[in-house]
Chain A
């Protein structure tokens, strides 16, 4: 990489060994970025085949069994090997110590260990794929997964089990780091919202992930030993599995979207040149979402046969999550109001997030409504809803964050014009891919089938066409960011004139982050509307 920038974390050794044995949180962030990018394109390849198959009503490209494996691989890889580690383990690892004025995370050795655990879990998953894949869906629902599937369920569960411990270690590290390593003057209410978001995310990682680990262990044991915990034929209860699975997997949605909200808060204030509106409410809303997120898992089970009263309570609690979520959207909008807005590449991603997250969130309310959900359960409406949150939300914000902090991470600028083009292509391609799926779901197209009624073809072709545009959008940054890595002009310390401690040190930062320990004397986001972005 950048040999011309002496004294940075990038110049502390150029060998592969110097990277693989590092304890520097910045280098670990880069290692994670490389790993999650590989898995993103692996999961994307599965998605490509899914959309190709669905371009025609007949199941003509792949068999039903292969299709089952494709959407399972897409789900497993994207959820556990891309989305969950994406922002926390890459941008979070790089930025949390920088943003609070620390030199390291609290436990550097655990931090690099978490990356190795991630890689080990990834190897299990890749080996499982090479062996022939798994067909249960990413949800591993029993009793199909324990008694009937003839695919590599245990290998897949082992990969997910292992990667969970990398999440736990990352979360543990962030919580202790934020509590114990803030620079002088960096009080809790001077923390950037990105740090608040990562803190709340870490609480979820630490409290929810072990539940999934033990649940998958019990599932694997039932599959091997045929002792009924979840299988009704053996005296078990399949709803118990669903409760336990969603007790993790609903909070996991907030693991994906809370860091995204943190990224967007940073970008919007910077490119609106305004202090964020309602800082404290934003921080409390983050914690509120994290807390409520633990109490709504039952809305995945409205038609499962759980108690109707449980359904009512879960429905009401799910509506309540909309309150802190709406506070965030309104506060971003209020931040933009009368701001000196610059439509830079990161800002386009962030604005895309706000719009797509709003659509995804509002359609979530349809699904939280008991009676409406009966009609929409297991249709493409659900698929569209969660892709608006996870792809339109989390992936947009991840890319926005990569663009926003790229000059800090690499010390180089990229082509602003290409950055904007890619953001717009992704926004357009995303909507063309997933908006038709709302309509398909409302019309009754069920998810997870490789063929469908011929009168639904038009909307499916639109969706598949959108997916190809989306794929181009995702490949573009590889090109111009790759160019920037070698040929980009030097960025300087603070190319956006942004606030925040990470912008006060050189780009790329020195190994110890700050030549002198910073002292914080002002509130966060003290932007001057008169100061231009560049």
Chain B
């Protein structure tokens, strides 16, 4: 390799600010892809709801709004702990970072657990399309479509969140090793962006699933 100075670091982590900017730009672009990916599901939801708004109202009232609300609170809190972890990482407070990362992972896991309870209740009530769908009231086809979209959207969201929980836990374990802390702060920052994105998707899912027809 040449000994000449380079704007591009030959090895990581030679040039911290450069790498930080580069990694987070990569993550932002990945999140743009993710937004378009979820966008199709939101469009399918909007289209189906416009086709039968009354049916979606009936279906929406069959969901467990209090579980969804609990989960919203859990996930928003997890975004707070994630943001604090990133901030404390750059401030050099490694112990607090590890604690906050574990808190984030725990809240994410709690969200998935609540979601699992919710899925179990829907299974009990026969609201799972194809596998166990016993709903026989009005607008049965729209209700089935609503719950199909519900499982598709919350399912894809839960897969994303599970990946996030695994990565945050992995980072918390890695952070116990004090060497290369700087590289790990960049990883935390990128992971934070991902985490907040998954949170933001839920912020849109929550009203669409639970709130839209609640008081009609």
User: A residues near B, CB below 8 A?
Assistant: 102-104, 106-107, 168, 171-172, 175-176, 179-184, 206-211, 213-215, 218, 221, 225-229, 234-237, 240, 244, 512, 514-517
Contacts and interface: CB of A to CB of B under 8 A. Distances in A.
B6 A210 contact: no
B200 interface: no
Contacts of A517: 2, 4-8
B36 A180 contact: no
Contact of B21 (A180, A227, A229, A516): A180
22 contacts: A104-B8, A175-B29, A180-B21, A180-B22, A181-B22, A207-B36, A210-B34, A210-B36, A210-B39, A211-B39, A214-B40, A218-B44, A225-B129, A227-B130, A227-B144, A228-B145, A229-B145, A240-B44, A240-B47, A244-B43, A515-B2, A517-B5
A211 B8 contact: no
A209 B25 contact: no
B48 interface: yes
B141 interface: yes
B142 A103 contact: no
B10 interface: yes
A225 B130 contact: yes
B142 A235 contact: yes
A235 B51 contact: yes
A229 B26 contact: no
Nearest to A182: B7
A413 B138 CA distance: 74
B155 to A, nearest CB: 11
Chain B contact residues: over half helix, strand or loop, or mixed? helix
B170 interface: no
B160 to A, nearest CB: 13
A218 B48 CA distance: 13
Contacts of A514: 2
Most buried by A among B1, B8, B52: B8
Contacts of A221: 148, 152
Given A106-B22, A207-B32, A225 B10 contact: no
A294 to B, nearest CB: 11
Interface residues of B, number: 38
B36 A211 contact: yes
Contact of B6 (A103, A180, A228): A103
B37 interface: yes
A172 B26 contact: yes
Contacts of A179: 25
A469 B185 CA distance: 59
A234 B141 contact: yes
Interface in B30-54: 30, 32-34, 36-41, 43-44, 47-48, 51-52
Contact of A214 (B10, B37, B129, B130): B37
Interface string B76-100: 0000000000000000000000000
A103 B10 contact: yes
Contacts of B47: 237, 240
A235 B141 contact: yes
A305 to B, nearest CB: 15
A147 to B, nearest CB: 15
A161 B61 CA distance: 35
B51 A237 contact: yes
B47 to A, nearest CB: 5
Interface string B188-209: 0000000000000000000000
A176 B141 contact: no
Given A106-B26, A172-B33, A240-B47, A211 B40 contact: yes
A101 to B, nearest CB: 9
A86 B43 CA distance: 31
B25 A176 contact: yes
Contacts of B141: 228, 234-235
Contacts of A184: 7
Contact of A215 (B4, B6, B40): B40
Nearest to A216: B40
Nearest to B26: A176
Interface in B142-180: 142, 144-145, 148, 152
A276 B63 CA distance: 62
Nearest to A206: B33
Nearest to B130: A225
A523 to B, nearest CB: 20
A172 B30 CA distance: 7
A240 B46 CA distance: 11
Nearest to A207: B36
